[in-house]
Each structure stands twice: as structure tokens, then as C-alpha cells.
Amino acid sequence: MAPIGPGTTRVLITGFGPFHRYKENPSWLAVKPLHGITLTTDSGRPIHITTLELPVAYEYVLRNVPGLHKRPPVLPPSADAGIPLPENGYDFIFHVGVSGRGPIRIERLGHKYGYDLTLPDADGQFGPIVILAEGSDSEPVRGFGEGYEAFPGDLPTDVDVPALVIDLKKDGAELGMSVDAGHYLCDFILYASLAISRQVVGPQEKPIPVLFMHVPLPREVSTEKATDMARRIILWVCGGLP
């Protein structure tokens, strides 16, 4: 692997691991080929990409996503120890998950509550139970509790998703956008990552961009096309960084 030079933009892209009927998760198959490569924007900015496979598990996401945003990051043991961590943290964190049908779409919002009660995660668990008000008659919900109290019910990405979609469509991309990431692990990791990105910055700092892309099953969109879409999105987002 070529050395990572000073001034290189550092990107972390995550995909999910096996769950239920997927022995290999299409999201991981899409992002895995990008591991360790360096892209270059039109302006000459080098972008180094690290990929990370995450289990489809609520508790794992809660425990490990905060570390992805630390400076330097704290990655789980499954990460490639051969790639040096960026001392000042990642410049862009990009999550990818699988959806049932196409097209590829970018999610604009993460949701705090209302997580799926019919489909357990890979550990057989559901989202955390949250009591919204002690002593009230309200029913418990599934979602984010301790540590996330200050955050609203919906968190939007700071990336200009409509502009991203329009620009890539001009270049022939089949790409959509959504405000419903599904209230399952895809939604869960998006909300967690957006919230943590806002927690770790100082009062005068902007959070790093966080984005989520849903890829359909390979019978709908090939793995190669999904990988290429991730590459193009990384170039677009990083091309707009200061």
C-alpha cells in the first residue's frame, strides 16, 4: 500500500455483515473493493478510503459508532490494523446498507424512535427500549435513550442530497433519495453517526459529513455498479470539503 501523504482526505465507509438469509451482505460486497485505495478529485485532492464491515446488531452499533468519530478514531478489532488512523479523525463517514429493491438511494434523515419490532438483528435482538417519560402512561418505544436525549426525533444529514443526486444524474447515474431509512439497522447507524458527529465537535466547528446509501440486491443493481456509485459519491462529497 502506498503511504498516505499529508493533506490526504480520509474517508471511512462501512458495510454490514451477514444476517438472516444473506451469508454475504450486498452492502459489504459493494464497499469492500474500495478498501485501501486512493482517489483523486478534479482539483487534485487525494482521498484515501478505509472500509469496515459491521455486524447487523443494535448493541454493536451503539458501542462502536462513537469510536469511529474520535480523534484519532477507535476502530473495532475487525478493522485492518495495517492502515494508520487519521490523527485528526475521518473527514467523511459513509455508511452503506442493503434494501430490497432499486434504485440505489441516499437517505436524508435518521430517526430516533420507532424501530422494527418484527425483525430481530443478527444477534436475535430488537432495538433498545426507551422510556420517554418516567411515571407517565406512555408506552415504551424502541430507539435511542441515554446519551441521545438532546437530539431531536429526526436528524438530517448536512450533505446537500438533492444537489448530489441531481449532479450525478446529469452524468447518467440511476440514483434516488429518501427520508425513510427503514427503522432498522440502516436507520439506526445513520442516526447514531449523525448524532455523534455533532457531539464531538467544538462550538465553532462544523460536524464532518455523514451519509447513508441503500443498495438493492445484486439482481436489481450489480455489485460493480454499487461500488462505482459509492466511489462517485465519495468524490462528489470530498470535492466540496474545505
Pairing of strands 109-111, 38-40: unpaired
pLDDT bin (cut points 50, 70, 90) of residue 134 is low
Q: Give first-to-last CA distance, the chain, whole Å.
A: 26
Query: Cis before residue 72, ω within 30 degrees of 0?
Result: yes
Does 1 fall in a domain?
A: no
Place of cell 485492518: 80
Residue 80 is part of which domain span? 9-240
Can you give the CATH number for the domain in which 27 is found? Answer: 3.40.630.20
Can you give the pLDDT at residue 154? Answer: 98
**Which pLDDT score is estimated for 54?**
97
Q: Let me know if residue 100 belongs to a domain.
A: yes
Cα separation, 58 vs 203, whole angstroms: 30
Q: What is the pLDDT of residue 177?
A: 97
Question: Across all residues in the chain, what is the average pLDDT?
Answer: 94
Task: Look at residue 36 and tell me if it is in a domain.
Answer: yes
Quick one: which of 161, 154, 171, 62 has its CA closest to 110? 154
In a domain, residue 124? The reply is yes
Residue 3: inside a domain, yes or no? Answer: no
Q: What is the mean pLDDT of residues 219-238?
A: 97
Domain count for the chain: 1
Query: What is the structure's pLDDT at 151?
Result: 96
pLDDT digits (tens, 9 = 90+) for 33-91: 999 999 999 999 999 999 999 999 999 999 999 999 999 999 998 888 888 899 999 99
As a whole number of angstroms, the distance between CA 228 and CA 45 comes to 19
Q: What is the pLDDT of residue 144?
A: 97
Residue 180 lies in a domain: yes
DSSP3 helix / strand / coil % (the chain, rounded to 5): 25, 25, 50
Give the mean model confidence (pLDDT) for residues 160-183: 96
| pLDDT at res. 138 | 66
Share of the chain above pLDDT 90, in %: 83
Residue 4 included in any domain: no
* Alpha-carbon gap, residue 94 to 237, rounded angstroms: 10
| Model pTM score | 0.95
pLDDT at res. 133:
64
| In-domain check, residue 224 | yes
